[in-house]
Structure 1
Amino acid sequence: MAVLAAAAGGALSAPAAAEGTGPTAGPPGQVEFPTHCLPPQEAGLPPADGPTTARITADDPAPRVGDTVTVTYQVARTPAVNPLSVALPADVLTPTGRIVLGGAQRGEVTVVGAKRNDPVEVGGALPAVTMTGTFTVTAPGEITLSPGDYTLHTGHLLELDTVCAAAGSVAPGPSPDPSPKPSGSASAPASAAPSPASPSPPPSPAGPPVAQRITASPLPTANLRAVALGTAAGGPGAKAEVTGAGFAPGADVTVAGRAGTAETADRVTAKADELGVVLAELPVTDRATTAVVAYEGAAWTPERGSGPAAYTVIVAAPMPPGSQKVTAVVEPGELGMTQVGEAVTLGAVPYGDGGAAAGRIGTVTVKDARGGPAGWSLIGKVTDFTGTGGVRIPGASLSWTPACTAAPGSPSACTPGSAGTVGPDGAVLASTGDAALVGGTFTLDAAVTLQVPPYTPPGAYTAVLTLTLS
C-alpha cells in the first residue's frame, strides 16, 4: 500500500474507444440516418430534414473495465444550412454532440469539436465536422456506440445554434433566450421571427443505427487459494496431511497428486468449511507424484486452484553393504512482494494553469518461490484524492506507465501492464503467465501522472494506492 500526494488538485480526462461497421457503404463505423434540424429562431428558417452521414471510431476495440476510451464522432454530411443571410467566414463553426452507449453499458458521451470550417455561402449546407470525447468502461461485455444529436454553433455576427437529431427522437431545441450577442454590425439574419411551424417527420422507432461495437473484458480477480503439507516426503502409501485455505465456503475441493503438469492417480475430495479452510489426508501411492494441488470444479485452473506443494515419494531399495542413501528435498516457498518506501510525492502544478503532476511509485520486488505452474498478477487500485475542505480529485485522474524486469535465471518472463488509468476499479501493474514451471524474482516500477485541471484550489491532495498480489 502506498500513499500518493499531489501539491495541487485536478481531475484526469483520459482518452480512449473502438471501431465497428455501419450498414451503409463506406469506411468502418460509418452510418446514415434521417435527421431533423432546427435552425435558430433568429434565422426565421424552416426546419431542415434530410440524411446525416456520420462515422464513429474508437481508439481501443477491446478495453478492460476501468479503461478510458476516446471516441470520435465525424459528421460528413448534414441537412443543416448556414443560418445567416450572409456568407459564413472560415473558422466560426463549433460543433458539439453526444454518442449514445448501449449493450453492456448505457449512457451518453459528450463530444466537442474545434472551431474549424471552410467558408459557407448563403443558404449553403454546413460543412463536415469532427468531435471527440472520452468515457470510462464500467461493465464487461459488448458496448454499442450510436450517433446522437449534434449542435452546430456559428459565431459570426450572432451566436446561433442549429440543433440536429435523428428523426422521431427528442432533441434539445434552441436556447429559450433568443437575445442575440452581436459581434459585428450590418449583416444580421434576414428575419428575427420565430421559425414557422412545421410537422416533424414520422418517428423512427429504431433511432440512429449502431455505428461501432467494442468488447470490454473484466479485470482479473485475485486467487487467494493456498495449500500446505504437513510433511514434504513419505514412503509409498503414506498419508500426506493437506491444509487448504481461501476456497469458497462449503465448496467440494479435490486434493490430488501431480507429476509436472499432469495429475497422478492419488486423489481425495474434501469440503471447505465456513471459512474456506480444507483439511484432508491424501494417501500417496503413485510413485510418480512429485507435488500436491487442490482445486474447485472438475479440473485444476489458475483461477480456482492452488499449489502445487512439492512432495517426494521415498522408495526404499536394498543398499549395498557399507552404503547410505542420501535424499535432498527442495521445498516450495511463497509468493510475496516488498516495496521501497511508504509514500509517493507527485510534482507540483501551478494554480490556474493546472497540468500533469508526475512522479514514480516505490520500486516493488516480487519473489515467486512456489515452483508450480501458476503465474501471478499485481493489481493496483487508487482512492480519490482528498484535499483541504473536502475537495476531491477522482482516482480515475491518476494514470501510470508500468515497467517490469525479471532477474537473471528467473524461469518466468515478466509482462508489464498497459499504460493508462489506474482508478478505483484497478489496473494491472505486471504479471507472469502460467507454465510447466514458473518462478523468479522481478523488479516492478511505474511512472504515475495526476492530471490537474486549471483553478483547482491550492493545497495538498492525498490518495491511497493499494497493490494486491495474487
Structure 2
Amino acid sequence: MGPTLRRPRRRRWASLLAVTTVAVTAGGALACPAGAAGTNVDFATHCIPPAIAGLPPIDGTTTGNISVDNTSPKVGDTVTVTYTVVTPAANNPTDLALPADIMTPTGKVTLGGAQTGDVTVAGPKKNDPVPGKGVFPSFSMTGTFKVTSPGAIKLSPGDYNIHTSYILELDTPCTVTNPPAPVSETVTATDSTPVNNRAITLGSASGNAGDSVTVNGTGFTAGATVTLAGRAGDAQTADTATVTAGTDGSFSGSLAVNDRTTTGIVAYEGSSWSSEKGAPPASYVVNDTTPVPAGSQKLTTTVKAGTLSMSQAGDAVSLSAVDFGKGGASTGSLNTVTVKDFRGGPAGWSLTGKVTDFTGPGAKIDAGKLSWTPACATKAGSPSTCKAGSAGTVGTSGATLASTPDGTLTGGEFTVDAGLSLDVPAFTPPGAYSGVLTLTLS
C-alpha cells in the first residue's frame, strides 16, 4: 500500500516542477505592451529546464520586442531599454494551475552597429495565474546603457532566464540558437556638444596705449597654444600674443595693447576666436591721453562697469504627481531666474543647467528623463537681446537655458523661465523622488 501511495505523489511532484520550469519559456501570441516602440521579431531559442524537472530541452520560437525611452540620444546619455518576451516557446503542458507572482526574469539585450556589447535587463517578480493547459503571459525586463559612440546602435533580443519560486528555487536558461537575433530597435546617437568652460580675467580693465595687461585663463585644453588678442567691437585688432596652457588648462600671459579702439580682450585655441574654442571677451579700455589744446578744458566722467549676476525666485519646485502603474509626465515650472549684465563690455553670457538623477525609496529616475521648454524675456532698453535655449533633455551633461551673443556693447536685464517635465516610468516604486538642478551663469 505504501509504494502505491508514494508513486503517484512522485509523479505529482514532478508535474509541479515541470509546470514551474516550463512556464519560463511558455506563452501565447500576446500583443506587445502599449508604448513599446520596437518591432516584434521572431528568433529560435533553446531552453533547458532544471534536471530535477525531468523534461527534455525545449526548442522553439520566441517573439521578442525591444523598446527604448530615447531613440535620439547624445553621446554620454543613458538610455533605458525594455526587453519584452511577447511570445515564449510553449504553453502550460499540464492540467495544474500555475500561481501568480512566482516568475522573476533576467536577460540581456545585444548591441550592434556603432556600439557593441550586452545590456543586462531584469524584470519584477510579477505574473498572472496561469490555468492548466493555458497560455503563459508575456513578461518584460528593463536595464540601461550609456551611449559611448555616435551613429546607429542596433538592439536585438538576447538570452534570457526565468527564476521561479514555487516549491523550489529553480532557473531555466533560454539562449538564442543563432545569435544575434534580428534587430528589434535602432537608436541614432549624436555627438554631444561639450560645455565651453574657457574664461579669462584681466589684471587691469584699462591702460594707456602701449601698456601691457596681464591675462589669466582657465578651462583651456591642457598644453594647448592659446592666442591673446585685442578686439574693437566684433573685430580683432593687430595686438596679439601667445601662451601655453598648463596641465590643468590654466595660464597667465601678457598682452601689449596699442590700438586705441580696443574694447575688449579675448583668448582662444586655434586659428581664430570661436564660441567653442575661445573665452568670452573681457572688457578693456585704452585711455585717451591726447594733449588738451591751448585755451581748452578736457571734461571727463566715468561710467563704472558692474558685474554679471543672477537671482532666482525660489530654490524648490514641486512637480505634479503621477500614478504607479501609469507613470508619465510629472510637470512643473522653473522658478524665475533674473539675469543682470551690468559689465558694459562686448561679452554676452550663457545660462546652462544640469540635473542629477532623481533618487527615492530604493530606486531612482534617470536624469535624462527631465526635459525643459525654456523662455526668456529682455527688459526694454537693454543693449542685448536674450535668446531662449532649445526645448529638450537636460540630463547630467547639461543644456542651455538662455543666452545673449557677444557684441560691440552688451548688457541689460533679463528674466528666464522654463516648463519642466519628468518622464516617470510606469512602475516606479511609490514615494518621493528628488534631484538637484544646478544653473551656471558664465
Contact 2:226/2:243 (8 A) holds in 1: yes
User: Residues of 2 paired with 1:433 and 1:104: CA distance?
Assistant: 40
Report what 1:269 is aligned to.
242
Report what 2:378 is aligned to.
407
Contact 1:43/1:84 (8 A) holds in 2: no
1:261-300 equivalent positions in 2, closer than 5 A: 261-272=234-245, 276-285=250-259, 289-300=262-273
Structure 1 residues 242 and 209, CA, compared in 2 at 3 Å: closer, same or farther? same
- The equivalent position to 1:108 in structure 2, one of 102, 120, 126, is 120
Report what 1:227 is aligned to.
201
Matched, 1:147 2:119: no
Unpaired runs of at least 5, structure 2: 1-36
Report what 1:428 is aligned to.
399
- The equivalent position to 2:218 in structure 1, one of 238, 246, 250, is 246
| SS of structure 2 residue aligned to 1:255 | strand
Cα shift at 1:215:
0.9
- 1:283-308 CA distance string (max 9 Å, x none): 324x6644321123433232442232
Identity of aligned residues (%): 27
User: Residues of 1 paired with 2:282 and 2:176: CA distance?
Assistant: 70
Structure 1 residues 317 and 282, CA, compared in 2 at 3 Å: closer, same or farther? closer
Structure 1 residues 104 and 344, CA, compared in 2 at 3 Å: closer, same or farther? farther
Contact 1:244/1:278 (8 A) holds in 2: yes
Q: Please give the root-mean-square deviation of Cα atoms over the aligned residues, in Å.
A: 5.7
User: Residues of 2 paired with 1:302 and 1:329: CA distance?
Assistant: 31
Alignment-mate amino acid for residue 431 of structure 1: A
User: Residues of 2 paired with 1:49 and 1:201: CA distance?
Assistant: 11
Alignment-mate amino acid for residue 109 of structure 2: V
- 1:337-357 CA distance string (max 9 Å, x none): 22345x53758989x999999
Report what 1:3 is aligned to.
none
- 1:402-425 CA distance string (max 9 Å, x none): 643222345333324656575xx3
Structure 1 residues 340 and 224, CA, compared in 2 at 3 Å: closer, same or farther? farther
Contact 1:354/1:454 (8 A) holds in 2: no
Alignment-mate amino acid for residue 469 of structure 1: L
| SS of structure 1 residue aligned to 2:257 | strand
Cα shift at 1:430:
0.9
RCO higher in structure (CA 8 A, sep ≥6): 1
Cα shift at 1:137:
3.9
- The equivalent position to 2:354 in structure 1, one of 376, 380, 388, is 380
User: Residues of 2 paired with 1:292 and 1:455: CA distance?
Assistant: 52
1:271-350 equivalent positions in 2, closer than 5 A: 271-272=244-245, 276-285=250-259, 289-312=262-285, 333-341=306-314, 343-344=315-316, 346=318
Report what 1:172 is aligned to.
161
Contact 1:414/1:432 (8 A) holds in 2: yes
- The equivalent position to 2:144 in structure 1, one of 128, 131, 135, is 135
Contact 1:111/1:132 (8 A) holds in 2: yes
- The equivalent position to 1:60 in structure 2, one of 54, 60, 70, is 70
Contact 1:222/1:469 (8 A) holds in 2: no
Cα shift at 1:261:
3.4
- The equivalent position to 2:44 in structure 1, one of 31, 35, 40, is 35
| SS of structure 2 residue aligned to 1:344 | coil
Contact 1:385/1:395 (8 A) holds in 2: yes
Structure 1 residues 106 and 282, CA, compared in 2 at 3 Å: closer, same or farther? farther
- 1:420-445 CA distance string (max 9 Å, x none): 575xx354361326555665433234
Cα shift at 1:313:
5.6
- TM-score normalised according to structure 2 size: 0.61
Report what 1:468 is aligned to.
440
Alignment-mate amino acid for residue 253 of structure 2: L
Cα shift at 1:256:
0.8
Report what 2:13 is aligned to.
none
Cα shift at 1:100:
1.9
- TM-score normalised according to structure 1 size: 0.58
Unpaired runs of at least 5, structure 1: 1-27, 150-164, 166-170, 181-194
Matched, 1:214 2:188: yes
Structure 1 residues 432 and 211, CA, compared in 2 at 3 Å: closer, same or farther? same
Alignment-mate amino acid for residue 107 of structure 1: V
Contact 1:244/1:294 (8 A) holds in 2: no
- Equivalent pairs, count: 383
Cα shift at 1:269:
1.6
- The equivalent position to 1:47 in structure 2, one of 33, 47, 58, is 58
Contact 2:227/2:241 (8 A) holds in 1: yes
User: Residues of 2 paired with 1:401 and 1:468: CA distance?
Assistant: 16
| SS of structure 2 residue aligned to 1:444 | strand
Structure 1 residues 430 and 241, CA, compared in 2 at 3 Å: closer, same or farther? same
User: Residues of 2 paired with 1:176 and 1:96: CA distance?
Assistant: 11
| SS of structure 1 residue aligned to 2:211 | strand
User: Residues of 2 paired with 1:174 and 1:271: CA distance?
Assistant: 60
Contact 1:65/1:139 (8 A) holds in 2: yes
Q: Is 406-415 or 38-47 further displaced after alignment?
A: 38-47
| SS of structure 1 residue aligned to 2:279 | strand
- The equivalent position to 2:340 in structure 1, one of 367, 382, 390, is 367
User: Residues of 1 paired with 2:269 and 2:223: CA distance?
Assistant: 11
Cα shift at 1:268:
1.2
Structure 1 residues 331 and 402, CA, compared in 2 at 3 Å: closer, same or farther? farther
Structure 1 residues 427 and 283, CA, compared in 2 at 3 Å: closer, same or farther? closer
Alignment-mate amino acid for residue 218 of structure 2: G
